[in-house]
């Protein structure tokens, strides 16, 4: 791989109850455990929320790229990511649901763009075969 960018972050404290920060100082977050995982829903964020934002942003970028290549207008589009964590036979696992909307875009056309984006998005490629990822298109 020809590396174009590397993000670096460090977490200290008690993992899910610690603090996280990027090496360049652009990101600094308090972490807390959600009630569903036995926490108190403290003031911080959690890894699942951070993953949801990262995946949604990456997927939206891939969607915009495939739309440009197809000369398709998806202005006003959004990507909503739901990241779930739950128990399986092997321990804790993740699942993702991505919902894409693009005002005025016919559902069939948008679904085709979403499928193409899913093939190229780095997050989608990294998770393929590892976790369940459900793609959905919101009605226009």
pLDDT digits (tens, 9 = 90+) for 86-112: 999 989 999 999 999 999 999 999 999
Q: From the options 2.20.25.10, 3.90.1580.10, 1.10.3720.10, 3.30.70.600, give the CATH code of 1-45.
A: 2.20.25.10
> pLDDT > 70: what percent of the chain?
99
- Determine the Cα–Cα distance for residues 47 and 64; give it in Å rounded to an integer: 26
pLDDT band at 139 (very low <50, low <70, confident <90, very high): low
Q: Where in the chain do CATH 2.20.25.10 domains reside?
A: 1-45
Architecture of domain 47-137: 2-Layer Sandwich (3.30)
Q: Write down the pLDDT at residue 42.
A: 81
Q: How much is the average pLDDT of 28-44?
A: 91
User: What average pLDDT does range 75-85 have in this prediction?
Assistant: 97
pTM: 0.94
Residue 10 predicted with pLDDT over 70: yes
Output the six-digit token pair for 98.
């991505």
Cα Rg for the chain, rounded, in angstroms?
17
Mean pLDDT, the chain, rounded, equals: 95
Confidence tier at 73 by pLDDT (50, 70, 90): very high
In this structure, what DSSP letter does residue 75 have?
T
Confidence (pLDDT) at 100: 98
DSSP per position, 82-102: EEEEEEETTEEEEEEEEEEE-
């Amino acid at each position: 791989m020809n590396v174009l960018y590397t993000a670096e972050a460090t977490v200290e404290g008690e993992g899910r109850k610690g603090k996280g920060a990027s090496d360049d100082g652009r990101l600094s977050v308090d972490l807390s455990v959600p009630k569903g995982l036995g926490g108190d829903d403290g003031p911080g964020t959690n890894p699942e929320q951070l993953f949801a934002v990262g995946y949604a942003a990456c997927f939206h970028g891939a969607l915009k790229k495939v739309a440009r290549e197809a000369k398709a207008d998806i202005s006003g589009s959004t990507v909503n990511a739901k990241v779930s964590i739950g128990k399986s036979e092997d321990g804790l696992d993740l699942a993702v649901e991505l919902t894409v909307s693009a005002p005025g875009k016919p559902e069939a056309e948008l679904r085709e763009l979403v499928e193409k984006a899913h093939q190229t998005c780095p997050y989608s490629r990294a998770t393929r075969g590892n976790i369940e990822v459900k793609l959905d298109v919101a009605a226009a």
